[in-house]
Structure formats: C-alpha cells, structure tokens
Structure 1
Amino acid sequence: MYYLQDLTMNAIARELRTSRSTVSRLLSMARDTGLVQIQVNNPLQRAPSLEQQIRRQFGVEAHVVPVTDVVSDSDVLDRVAIQAARTIGPLVDSNAIIGVAWGSTLSAVSHHLTRKVTHDSTIVQLNGAGNTQTTGITYASEILRRFGQAYGARVEQFPVPAFFDHAETKTAMWAERSVLRILDLQRRMTMAIFGVGSIDANIPSHVYSGGYLDDDDLRALDEHQVVGDVATMFFRADGTHSDLLLNQRSTGPELDLLRQVRRRICVVSGETKINGLRGALAAGLATDLILDEGSARRLVHGGSR
C-alpha cells in the first residue's frame, strides 16, 4: 500500500483499522528484514561510470559505494559492508553451499545481513582460524553464525589452524575423514564470499594483526613480493601464487579451486588495499566486486599505496 499504491500511513491505518504507529513499525520491519529495499539513483553520482570501467578493464561485476574523502576508514568499511550485505542477499538461493572467509571486512558485512528464508543451504568456513595464541574458533564462528542465521542455513566450521607449522602436517590432516568432509563441501561451493588481506591497510587485516604470522613469515612474504591474500592464500601483483611456500602450510582453499566457484564475491574497503585487490583480480579470483569509491578510482586510474 505504501510503496506500490502511494497511500499515506494515515490512509493505511484507517484501511487496516490500526494505528499510524503500527503502520510505521511494519514499514520499518519490512526494511530491516529485506522485504523492502530502497535504491536511490543519483544522476550526478560517479559510481555507475566507475562500475562500467571496472567491468571493461577487469571483467567483473562491480558495485561501487559512493563516499566522500572526509569519511573515516571505519565509516567507509561500514558503508561498504552495508552495500555488500544488500548485494549478497538476493544472490543467496536454497540448496546453496556458500564459502565464507573470516576477517575484518567479512565481520563487518556479517553485522548487516538481512534475513532471507532458504532451504537446505550450507555456510562453510573457507580457512582455519587458529594460531599459537588462540583457537580462533570464537572469532570465526561468530561471523559464520550470523551468515547462517540470516539465511537459515546450516553452518560447517573448519576447526584447524590458519597455518600449519609444517607442510607435511597439512598433507596428513588433509587425509583425515573429518577434514575431507569440509574439503568436499568447499569443492561443491556455489558461492564464495571473501575480502582481500593486506599488510599495510589502515584497518589491519586480521591475519596480519592477529598473531598468525611470525617475523620469518613476514620476511618471506616481502622477499617473494607478496601483495595480499584471500582466505590466507597469498599471491603477487601479477596473480602468481603456486610457488609460495607459505601457501603449502595454509588451510585456505587452493586458488585454482576457488576460481572454479561460479560466484565469487570480493568485498574491499580502503585504498590501502589496492595492491592486494589488483593481485586478486590478476589471479582471477572474483566474479563480483564491492568496493568504496576511492578504491574504485585508484583501481581504474592507476596508482598504488
């Protein structure tokens, strides 16, 4: 009545024989649950032009979030997270297997998801979260729990460390039936959702700030000119990654496997992640990209941070 028939709240209240405040609450609930989504098309907005340029240059579906230069990094992240949550919702179907990475960006996204009823869908953790200081279970499980709750999906955690100390340990663990079950779910993913990790981001990526990498690891990444990671799998600016030793100890999905997932949604906030984003795009890791306007301009017009 309100959105399609242009009735006022007072007119709706009379027709439904209820109060105006009840109508207002119903309208708010419709927006909060995602039943109603509001889109503003600003003819002066630069985002559509940037989206078209990103599509042409990188072959990905782009969603650019307009922000001004005076907005703080945390506010930019929040706005990107809101847009990501609104973009992801309509793409989630029943019988889906959705891989979700953990990290600062995905944590922000998980707080803004709107409810959508699906059937027989599964949220599977993309990479382990433990390190020498913590199991990481609480941090990662909260992110997955919010995704599962939003879409009424079963949640499958991956209770292994982010990195094994030895590649041989990973090889042995990957033969265990309990681990094989999770790996099989990852192989059958219909969607993957992840951010891009960067060591020099203004809002530090959790893998670099949470005690997951020691000094030797960081030196090795620097020596091999690594620019970023997706789900703790690292890559260079040109997208190469197969010879990086740290990837042999990582519990993240093989990037060759990730590229086979039909829908791969990458969420990026902050211009300081631009080098990592370029590397991820060079590696062909994303089909959909959600990012802030400043990062979008730097991506299409060149320049690094």
Structure 2
Amino acid sequence: MTIMSGSPGVEGAAGEHAHGNRSRDALRAAQMYYLQDLTMNAIARELRTSRSTVSRLLSMARETGLVQIQVNNPSERAPALEQHIRRRFGVEAHVVPVADSVSDSDVLDRVAIQAARTIGPLVDSNAIIGVAWGSTLSAVSHHLTRKQTHDSTIVQLNGAGNTQTTGITYASEILRRFGQAYGARVEQFPVPAFFDHAATKTAMWDERSVRRILDLQRRMTMAIFGVGSIGSGIPSHVYSGGYLDGEDLEALEGDAVVGDVATMFFRADGSHRDVVLNQRSTGPDLDELRKVRRRICVVSGESKIHGLRGALAAGLATDLILDEGAAQRLVYA
C-alpha cells in the first residue's frame, strides 16, 4: 500500500481551493488510518468530524489515487489456480475470489474492481492503450483510480455503430472514463461495428482519417478487452445491442464461432482468418493484436468459458483477470 503525498491534479480554478482542502483532509485521514493504525472513530475525533465523513475521505483517497493498495502475490506463493493457468496457458493470471452464491452482476462488479486496480499500476506515460467497448469494459471503467500520465493516448479498438444507433455515446463514455483516469488523450473510432459489405471496409481503410486511427492501433503498447459470448449470464453487448441479425448469427454458427474479442470472431481452436463476418468487422486484425506487448483480458462468468478458451488458444492475452468460478472451469472442466 502506497500513500502519495501530492494531491491529484484539478482542472480549472473554480472549486480548486475547496477541492484542495478536501484532498488534504483525505490525505491526513489516509495517513492516520493506513500508516498509524488509528480507527475511524479516533480519526474523526482528531479531525473534529464524523465517522461517516472519515469513511468518505478514505474512499476519496482510494478513488483519486492518493492511496494505492497492492496485495503482493509472488508467483512462487500464488494460489494453485493462478499457477495452473500460468503453466497451462502461458498468461499472467489474476483470479478474483468469489463465492458460488454471488449473483452474475455482483461477480462482474468484483472482477471489474480488481481489474481496474490491476491495470492502474501497469499504465505508463507515453503509452498508447487500445480499449474495446462492451459490458465488461464498461464495468471496469467505473472503478478506475486516477493516475496522472503524460503524452498517453486511449484509442478505441473497434467501431460501435449499428442500424439502430451510432454507438458513439456508449463507447465514448467508456473511453472518456479511461482517459480521465489516466490524463490521456482519447481517440474515438467513428465507424460501424460491422460494415454491410466487405468492399466498403476495404475502401474505408484507405481513407486518411481512418488510417490515422489504424496507425495508432498498430503502435499500441497495451490493449484491454473482454471476451464476447452469446450465452453468457450477462449478455455481451455485441450480441444484445442489435449489432447482429439472424443471418449474421447463422453465419457465426456455420463457422463454429465460440466468441469474439473487439468484434473479431474465432473458433474453439483459436482459428479466425476464414470467419466470414470478420471480413466486415471493424475490430483489430487478431494477428496484429497478438503483436501488442501487453494484452489484458478481463472475463466475468463461467458461461464465457468457451469464448475464453478460444481466445487463449488464439494467443490473444498476456494477462488474464477472471473470477474464481470461471478459473475453476477453465482449469478443471
């Protein structure tokens, strides 16, 4: 656990003084609680405030990055599940302990919290971070803690429009939260998730405005994504948001597709090059995605296990964050 002595940056002069006072109070409360082992009641008495205010100050200290909590988990002492996943699949695994009785939505929230706290320390200045949209990444984006970087860029991995919506609002909110958390510039990808015709994609990929985003994607230092799956407990957005019609779903079934990453589909053995729908998808070429140095995959729910196996068979992840139930099925089922 680290306590940062500097307060987080504040944009604009309005409210800066009040925010600064609150940040100083949050820092003092964090130092008393985490470094001096004082109880919240003792801190409340010393700061002449209420216990509930102290609780809010400690939450603020964590959310704004004043406090960074890290559980050291050396590989030689890692839980058996994580060790097994590392050995078998060659990825750095982070298993989130979750009881069987926890609901799908609560599992997602707890995985998202750990993913956000795992990703933060890995983000550096001068980074280009590709972010996919979807139910899992949306949840992760709500739990990011602030970490100021310099000259970093968040780039959208795949288009989000369909026949019912441009998808701009949904995708941009996810990207905005990532950009705000890390003080990074945000680059959206204003194209549909799928073109109607493969020839349209070929033509668009020759446009300079599109090539600029594709070039950023090719220079990514990190990619963050979930795994899409038709039958998951919490439906993947690409399958529930009107992106695929009946003909598309039949084509995916005919191609024996088990899942997708950033709307690029693959089979159980990881093969993907001849999947028909990929010719119209605006997601990153999976061969190019594998070249990114750090590829963080976040998965919540046992029902995504077939998609996850396919993604691992395709070698798409270097880091995997998943719940305990999914990890058990991945290893033992």
2:150 is matched with which residue: 119, 132, 135? 119
The alignment status of 1:19 with 2:34, answered yes or no, reads: no
Within 2, Cα distance between the matches of 1:40 and 1:86? Answer: 10
Q: Is the 8 A contact 2:63 2:144 kept in 1?
A: no
Q: Which amino acid is the alignment partner of residue 55 of structure 1?
A: R
Q: Is the 8 A contact 2:230 2:259 kept in 1?
A: yes
Q: Is the 8 A contact 1:34 1:116 kept in 2?
A: yes
Q: Which amino acid is the alignment partner of residue 200 of structure 2?
A: T
Aligned residue for 1:148? 179
Q: Which residues of 2 match residues 113-262 of structure 1 at below 5 A?
A: 113-262=144-293
The alignment status of 1:106 with 2:137, answered yes or no, reads: yes
Within 2, Cα distance between the matches of 1:105 and 1:25? Answer: 27
Q: TM-score, normalization: structure 2?
A: 0.84
Q: 1:89 to 1:39 in 2, by over 3 A?
A: closer
Q: Deviations over 1:231-262 (max 9, x none)?
A: 00000000000011110110000000000000
Q: TM-score, normalization: structure 1?
A: 0.92
Q: 1:140 to 1:229 in 2, by over 3 A?
A: same
Q: Deviations over 1:215-239 (max 9, x none)?
A: 1111111111100000000000000
**1:90, distance to aligned residue in structure 2 (A):** 0.6
1:290 is matched with which residue: 296, 309, 321? 321
Within 1, Cα distance between the matches of 2:142 and 2:239? Answer: 22
2:309 is matched with which residue: 269, 275, 278? 278
The higher relative CO (CA closer than 8 Å, separation ≥ 6) is in 1
SS of the aligned residue for 2:68 comes to coil
Q: Deviations over 1:129-187 (max 9, x none)?
A: 00111110111001101111111111000000000011110000000000000000000
Aligned residue for 1:57? 88
Unmatched 5+ residue regions in structure 1?
none
SS of the aligned residue for 1:186 comes to helix
Within 1, Cα distance between the matches of 2:100 and 2:44? Answer: 43
**1:8, distance to aligned residue in structure 2 (A):** 5.8
SS of the aligned residue for 1:146 comes to helix
Within 2, Cα distance between the matches of 1:7 and 1:69? Answer: 35
Within 2, Cα distance between the matches of 1:120 and 1:89? Answer: 16
Within 1, Cα distance between the matches of 2:202 and 2:72? Answer: 51
Q: Is the 8 A contact 1:84 1:290 kept in 2?
A: yes
1:89 is matched with which residue: 120, 133, 143? 120
Q: Deviations over 1:44-102 (max 9, x none)?
A: xx982211110011000011011111111001000000010000111111111000000
Q: 1:40 to 1:179 in 2, by over 3 A?
A: closer
Q: 1:41 to 1:66 in 2, by over 3 A?
A: farther
Count of residues in correspondence between the two structures: 297
Q: 1:218 to 1:13 in 2, by over 3 A?
A: closer
Identity over aligned pairs, percent? 87
Aligned residue for 2:22? none
Aligned residue for 1:36? 67
SS of the aligned residue for 1:138 comes to helix
Within 2, Cα distance between the matches of 1:179 and 1:36? Answer: 39
Q: Which amino acid is the alignment partner of residue 157 of structure 2?
A: L
Q: Is the 8 A contact 2:161 2:192 kept in 1?
A: yes
Within 1, Cα distance between the matches of 2:332 and 2:59? Answer: 40
Q: 1:10 to 1:226 in 2, by over 3 A?
A: closer
Within 1, Cα distance between the matches of 2:305 and 2:98? Answer: 16
Within 1, Cα distance between the matches of 2:226 and 2:81? Answer: 20
Within 2, Cα distance between the matches of 1:110 and 1:41? Answer: 23
**1:4, distance to aligned residue in structure 2 (A):** 3.0
Q: Is the 8 A contact 1:228 1:279 kept in 2?
A: yes
Within 2, Cα distance between the matches of 1:124 and 1:7? Answer: 43
**1:35, distance to aligned residue in structure 2 (A):** 2.7
Within 1, Cα distance between the matches of 2:56 and 2:114? Answer: 23
